Structures are given as C-alpha cells and as structure tokens.
Amino acid sequence: MLTTPDFTEITPTADIRTHRHGNRAKCLQRLARLEMPVPHTVALSFDTVRAIADGKMPDLAALVGIFGPGALLSVRSSSETSDWGGPGTILNVGMCDATADALAKTHGPDVAGAVYTGFIRSYAVDVHRLDAEEFENPITPRLAKQAYEAEMEEAFPQDTTVQLAEVLRSMARAWEGTTARLLRQAQGAPADAGLGLVVQQMALGPAPGTFGGGISGAGVVQFVSSDTGEPQITGRYLPRGQGRQALTEGAAQFIESDPRGPALEDVAPDQVQALRDAHGLMRMRLREEMQIEFTLMDGALSILDAVRTPRSARAEVEIAVALANDGVIPREEALLRIPPFTLNGLLHRQVKAGAVRDVLTTGIPAAPGAATGKIVFSAAAAQAASARGEPCILVRRETSPEDIRGMHAAQAILTERGGVTSHAAVIARGLGLPCVAGATQLQLDHRKKTVTVPGRKVFHEGDIITLDGSAGEVLVGAAEMVEPALGGAFATLMEWADEFRDIGIRANADTPEDAAMAQRFGVDGIGLCRTEHMFFDSNRMTVMREMIFAENAGDRAASLDRLLPMQRDDFIQLFELMKGQPVTIRLFDPPLHEFLPRDRDGIRALAEALDLPVSRVAQRIEALQEFNPMLGMRGVRLGITVPEIYEMQARAIFEATVTSSRKGAPVVPEIMIPLVSARREVELVKASVDAIASEVRSKTGSDFTYRLGVMVETPRAALRAGEIAEHAAFLSFGTNDLTQMTYGLSRDDAGRFMSAYVQQGVYPEDPFRQLDIDGVGELMHLGAERGRTARPDLTLALCGEHGGHPDSVDFSRKAGFDYVSCSPFRVPVAKLAAAQFAI
C-alpha cells in the first residue's frame, strides 16, 4: 500500500479525510469499505494539489509505479463538497504508441484508435487549452498527433509520468482560476477551499465478444428521478464505452429491460441486479441516494465512482423525506440536510397552462418558475425597487459578480447573452429565481433605459413584463399564474419543521390572496397587514383621493364613510381566512401624497374625476410635498394630525370582529401603530381606539377584546420601549425602517452605492437584506429587554423584510421573541431554518 505525504492509496483502512482529500476520495473509500469492486485508486491531498499549482510536482514515478506498466489512468477532481465543482475528469492517461499497439491486439484497432485519438484530443484541448477545432472528428491518432505537434512544437509525450504531470498541473491551476473561484464561492465555498485529486486505474471496456466472450462497456445509473426524487431507474450503458460517454452517445442502451430499445439487463441481468444491490447498500450505509458510474470488463462489474444523485430542489426534499420515512436517517437529519433557501426552488409560481401569452421574445430557459415585475436595468435600480416593495425584473446584457446584490433584490433575471451556465443562470438557480438567458433578440439601450425587440413597442424602465424561466419566454404584461404544488414530501417536511421549531412564524399579508397563500404554507397568523395596500385598487383610490381633497371635516367624513365598508369587508375576509388565528392590522402608514399623481396627465385626469380645476389639484399636491417624506407626515404622525383615518380603520376592524366572531371562532384583532417615537403618541391613539371600541360594543351589543401594539421602527422607540410597553400588548420591530433610521440610510436610495459599499467591505452585507445584528440588533436587544422589564407578558416580534432570513430567525429565537413575520413565500424557508436552529 502506498502512503506518502503526497499520495494515499484508497483502502478500507487508509486515512482519507473529506477536509483533506475531498468528498470523492472519501466516498470511494467508503465504497471500498463496503467491499464494492472499486479499481485501484490513489488520492492526492489538497496540500499536494496546492503545491502542484505552485509548480512543485511530487514523485510521479512512484505513483505511476503502483499501477504497473501499461495501465491507463483516470484523474478526477475531489473537492470538499461536490457543489463546489472542480475541473472535469481526464481519462486514459498513459495512452501512447506502445499502449495503442497492445490495445489493438486485445481489443481491435478501432477501439485502440478511438481511445488514443480521444486522449490526444482531451490532452490537447482540456490540458493544454489548444483550439478544439483542430482536433474535431473524424481524425486518426496520426493526424491528432500531427495537429498536436504543429501547435505545441514538440512530439506528443509517450511517457505516462510526463502526461500525468501536465494533467495534474492543469487541473490544479484550473481550480485556482477566477471563474472557478467565483462559481464555488457563489455556492458558499470559503476563499481557501482546497481541491483533491483521485487517480484511478481504468477498467477499459473492450469490444463485445472479443475478450473471452464477455460483455464490456461503461454506464451511469441512478435509482431516483433527478426532477422529482421519486424511485425510477434512469441511466445509460454504452457497449465499448468509457467514463460517462453513455450519457451523451446516441448508441447507448437502457439499464433495465425497456420496450423502447436494447438494455443492459437483457444481456447481463446478474450485473444489473448487482447494481441494484450496490445501490441499496449505498443508500443504507452511506445514507444517501447515489448515482453510480460503472464498467463491465469481460462481464466483471467495477464501480468507478458514486456521487450524490444530481437533484432539483423538489427531488432534494423528496429524497430526504424518503430516507427518513425508510428509517435510514432520523427526521432531524432530513430537516438539517436541506439548506433553507433550497425550498425557494419548490415554491415557484408558473404561468398557467393555457393562459394568454403575448410572447415578446424567447431565450434559454435557464432557471425555472415565473415572475411578473417592473423592468429595471441595473442592480442599483433593482435594490431601490425592492426597498420600495416593488417586484422587479432585472434586465441586463449579461450579469457579473457586481450585480449579485441586485439579483438578490429582483424577482427574475433576463439577459441578452449567455446560456445555462452563464453567471446569470448559475446565480439565479442558486437563489431560486426564474431566469431567461441568451435572449439574443433583445435590443437594450442603457442610456435611454429602454428595451425592445425588432418590430415590437419600446419598453421603458418600470413597464411590467413576465418572465417564464421554465419555458424561456418573455411575456408582455402580467400573466395568469398557478401556484406551485406544495403537497407530498414538501408538506411532510413542513410538518416536521413545525414539530421541532420553537418560534412562531407568521406572514406579512395585505390582501385576502396573500392570506390564502400564507394559509397554504401553514402560518401561525398574520404578523403584518399593511392596510394602505388595500387602497391601491382604482375604485378605492378615487375615494381615497376625494378624502385627501376634502375641503372640510364634513366632506372628509363622507369620503371615509365610503371607505369604511370596503375596509370592513377586507378585514372580514382576512379574519375568516385565518380562522381565529391572530391577525395584526397595521394602521395607515404612508404619507398621503403617495396616493396622488405625479405627472401632468395624472393631475389632469384627477382634476376631471374630482371636478376641480387643474390648478387647485396641482396646488394641493404641492402643499403635500415633503422634502423627506420617509421622515415626514407618515405613520402615527398622520394618525394624530388627521385622526379620522385611524378612527375609520378602528371602526372597520371592530365591526368586522363582531361580524366574524358571530359566524365562527371569536376574533381578537391586533391593532398596530406604525412609526412611533414617543409614548404620548401611543396614549393618544389608544384613547381614540378605545373610544371607538366602546362605541362599537354598545352599538352592536357585542363584546370583544383586542390587543393594541406598537411597531418599533425608530431608534427612539427602541430606546424608550419601557415606557411605550406600558400601553402596548406587543412590540413588533419593523426592521426596514429601523435599519433605515439606525444607519441614516434611505431605503429608496441605498441601492445606488450599496454594491460599492459591500465590495469595499464597509458593510459586510446589504443591511436591508440581512439584519445588521451588531447595530440594529443591539437596539432590538435593548428595546426587547426594556419592554419586557416593564411588562413581562409583552409579546415581541420582528416583521421587516428580514423576517424570513435564517439569520434573523436565529437572532429572534435567541432574543426570546415570540414570532417573526415575513412574506408568505419566505415562510417555508423561515420554518425550516427555525427547526434547524432548534434541533
């Protein structure tokens, strides 16, 4: 057995470690331990490969010596986690004139010629990076060698150690390349991630019938579907093939007997059964679904490699749940095995089959799912849109690492260039976002911020499109969508997460549709209903505008009287959908001018609708303008200066409470006051809301209770949480505004410089995406502690966009919060993360 600091021969007892030799080497050793027929294999450690990249070649003569003269070798990469990738496998190292002659005698000249040519091509193109066109089919070994010699100005090397040195060097250096580094870092690899290499003796498959009459070839097989994770033998076998050729060659056969064509099982039933047995044993003992690469040499089965079966997000969940259901792994481990963000891949909406599709253009379907949003042309614009809560689609010529934060902020990515492995596609899949890449017809004008395709209208920034990443289509406008299928293994996994998690997960839901979606994800209630979103409907908008333009209290009351039944109906629907679960309704938050038009046409239309002179409308809009609206007349400030709005909302909430409680489970509404900074604000609103509650009680003859709470969104509210909590049953930290105000950083403008800030390490991450535990978190700790000291039964929650992020869930659990609230689609991620932290 060969063991030097540089090489370790893989045997059942060798000291092979994943963090030193990589995942593939470790897996091969496990197979050896299970007494699987693994060929002779040697592992090179991360340190050895690093030294090779630095120009220090180990003693290859010793390495080659152990395989014996004339052996053909494969070299495979072995990184710590297979997700981090690695350079592609090189086969048939050791092929030279003498080996080709020997092979021709045993396997026939065709096999020998094909293998030799293939190796020269791979050595030239993959190792020495020569032009692939020079080595295209059909070509003979002689011509291939000539092409090599012409390019390299030296003879094709005949010595295995020389060939191996070049192969190892090129693989070691490829790992250090910028693209490889970026790709693996996007998968979570640390900057110093190492690469191991595995050198294995090849079981060359000779022509059938020529070598003792046995069957020879190579194949790849897996036992579950990569799309669904359900049991299904898929794979291919190529007679006389090598490596993974079977997956790409048309002449490949099925594994199991199949009416569609010839199959390995027809001629080698015992070997196929042996593969089934090997799979079963691997599943039990490696506790994983494995894909097996195998060869048959004269009928003898060798298992060359086994890797985690490639899988979609859906299959990942299916496989983990099946392993737990079969008792192979405990439920806890099934939960821990799934990175929370993987669930995004299951949650996608799709464009409804049969929906009207106005296809603007097509590209490569690079990441599945569909999304509708406003066109944005830069990462900064995407971040700004996201901060405003507007879904957007990032349209770029191609993307680069500087765009990452914008991609995080977008609902989908569309690129003019690139394919399924482009930066945009790889990152989008990682993030679970739909992506259409390589939409080559797109004509982008970055200066004018427009996009079009020949013969179609010009689209501007802000125009709505739908991206269907599953079909590779760009659709004009919003398309009708279907929600993802969330039953089966996904539902089971969520049930298990519910069993283990120890923090509540609620949803931010503004409309009955959102609430229905939240219910499908099994939330513990609604943690934030932003009531102003209920006014965006055009009918209501008109009444709202009438209210804003009211000349006197009487006119304003008349408009509010018309809004009241609409709000009441909204709340009845929400209460009924949530079936007695808590619903937190936030009173009106934004400044009033957000409801008024900005441009000339809009002003004219409004003047017409309200039967007012244009000048009067323009004046009113002007009067409502603020220099800094985010810090202006919004939230509770509006509630105190124009109290009729909050009064109307409180009345609508209480009347809905009475109606819904009569029909079903008693409702205890939670009313939340936004943007509080002083105790007196809470006292004033509380007095008014209490008065309305008494009025509704006596008018309806029904009793009910309610809980009044405060949103902690200003640093002062966090600092004064003690006195505020005296009037509040709950405090919910609105981390969007709290982040904005703690940093003094505009939610709407930060996108412009966020990339530069993060790139230069000023902020470790965009604090609007990932909660700033150090600063904002410290304020939250302070607020939570002061609040609970004043009122031990105080409910604490987090309801900003951060709520669904695993880091925030972790923070909130540790800080003793009762729940986090996030958008419905982030609920599964939050639930799974919560369970993982609790395990």
Q: What are phi and psi of 77, to 5 degrees?
A: -85, 155
Rounded to 5 degrees, what angle do the CA atoms 675, 678, 682 make?
75
Which of 27, 529, 799, 822 is an active site residue?
Answer: 799
The residue from 713, 715, 724, 825 that contacts ligand PEP (CB under 6 A) is 713
Q: Is 510 in the site for Mg ion (CB under 5 A)?
A: no
572-591 residues in contact with ligand PEP (CB under 6 A) are: 589
Report the partner that residue 799 touches, choosing among ligand PEP, Mg ion, none (CB closer than 5 to 8 A by kind).
ligand PEP
Report the partner that residue 530 touches, choosing among Mg ion, ligand PEP, none (CB closer than 5 to 8 A by kind).
ligand PEP
Q: Is 737 in the site for ligand PEP (CB under 6 A)?
A: yes
Cα distance between residue 595 and residue 365, in whole Å: 38
CB of 748 to ligand PEP, least distance (A): 11
Cα distance between residue 391 and residue 388, in whole Å: 9
How is the beta sheet containing 41-44 ordered, strand by strand? 7-9, 41-44, 195-201, 73-79, 90-93
Which run of H or of E encompasses 473? strand 473-476
736 is in an annotated binding site: yes
Q: Is 264 left (phi over 0), alpha (psi -120 to 50) or beta?
A: alpha
Judged by CB, which is closer to Mg ion: 342, or 740? 740
Each residue of 734-755: b (16+ CB within 10 Å) or e?
bbbbbbbbbbebebeebbbebb
Judged by CB, which is closer to Mg ion: 293, or 713? 713
Which of 279, 348, 408, 423 is an active site residue?
Answer: 423
CB of 571 to ligand PEP, least distance (A): 18
Per residue, what are the HEC states of 809-820? HHHHHHCCCCEE
421 is in an annotated binding site: no
Q: Is 803 in the site for Mg ion (CB under 5 A)?
A: no
Q: Is 735 in the site for ligand PEP (CB under 6 A)?
A: yes
The residue from 800, 804, 806, 824 that contacts ligand PEP (CB under 6 A) is 800
Cβ atoms within 10 A of the Cβ of 625, count?
A: 11
CB of 713 to Mg ion, least distance (A): 5
Rounded to 5 degrees, what angle do the CA atoms 276, 205, 106 make?
145
Which run of H or of E encompasses 231? strand 231-239
Q: Is 799 in the site for ligand PEP (CB under 6 A)?
A: yes
3 state SS of 210: coil
Q: Is 805 in the site for ligand PEP (CB under 6 A)?
A: no
CB of 496 to Mg ion, least distance (A): 34
Q: Is 736 in the site for ligand PEP (CB under 6 A)?
A: yes
Judged by CB, which is closer to Mg ion: 587, or 708? 587
Judged by CB, which is closer to ligand PEP: 438, or 800? 800
Report the partner that residue 305 touches, choosing among ligand PEP, Mg ion, none (CB closer than 5 to 8 A by kind).
none
CB of 803 to ligand PEP, least distance (A): 8
CB of 794 to ligand PEP, least distance (A): 19
705-724 residues in contact with Mg ion (CB under 5 A) are: 713
Q: Mention every residue, 6+ apart, whose C-beta is less than 8 A from residue 27.
A: 286, 305, 306, 307
Judged by CB, which is closer to ligand PEP: 373, or 800? 800
517-536 residues in contact with ligand PEP (CB under 6 A) are: 528, 530
Which run of H or of E encompasses 277? helix 269-285
737 is in an annotated binding site: yes
CB of 740 to ligand PEP, least distance (A): 7
Nearest residue to the partner ligand PEP, using Cβ? 734
The amino acid occupying position 490 is F
Cα distance between residue 714 and residue 742, in whole Å: 8
Report the partner that residue 524 touches, choosing among Mg ion, ligand PEP, none (CB closer than 5 to 8 A by kind).
none
How many Cα atoms within 13 Å fall on the side-chain side of residue 138? 2
734 is in an annotated binding site: yes
CA nearest 314: which of 351, 348, 291?
348
The residue from 590, 734, 803, 806 that contacts Mg ion (CB under 5 A) is 734
Judged by CB, which is closer to ligand PEP: 332, or 765? 765
**Among this protein's residues, is 593 annotated catalytic?**
no
- DSSP state, residue 124: I
Answer yes or no: are the C-beta atoms of 567 and 547 closer than 8 Å.
Answer: no
CB of 385 to ligand PEP, least distance (A): 14
**Among this protein's residues, is 435 annotated catalytic?**
no
Q: Tokens at residue 217, please?
A: 């070839």
Q: Is 647 in the site for ligand PEP (CB under 6 A)?
A: no
Judged by CB, which is closer to ligand PEP: 536, or 759? 536
- DSSP state, residue 87: P
Rg of the chain (C-alpha set) = 32
Each residue of 58-83: b (16+ CB within 10 Å) or e?
bebeebbeebeeebbbbbbbbbbebb
Stretch that binds ligand PEP, among 109-117, 615-623, 686-694, 729-737 (CB under 6 A): 729-737
530 is in an annotated binding site: yes
CA nearest 193: which of 381, 40, 53?
53
Stretch that binds ligand PEP, among 54-62, 566-574, 651-659, 735-743 (CB under 6 A): 735-743
586 is in an annotated binding site: yes
Q: Tokens at residue 387, please?
A: 């901060």
Q: Is 824 in the site for ligand PEP (CB under 6 A)?
A: no
Which residues of the shown chain bind Mg ion in the complex (CB under 5 A)?
A: 713, 734, 737
Which residues of the shown chain bind ligand PEP in the complex (CB under 6 A)?
A: 528, 530, 589, 713, 734-737, 799-800
Binding residues for Mg(2+): 713, 737
Q: Catalytic positions, please?
A: 423, 799
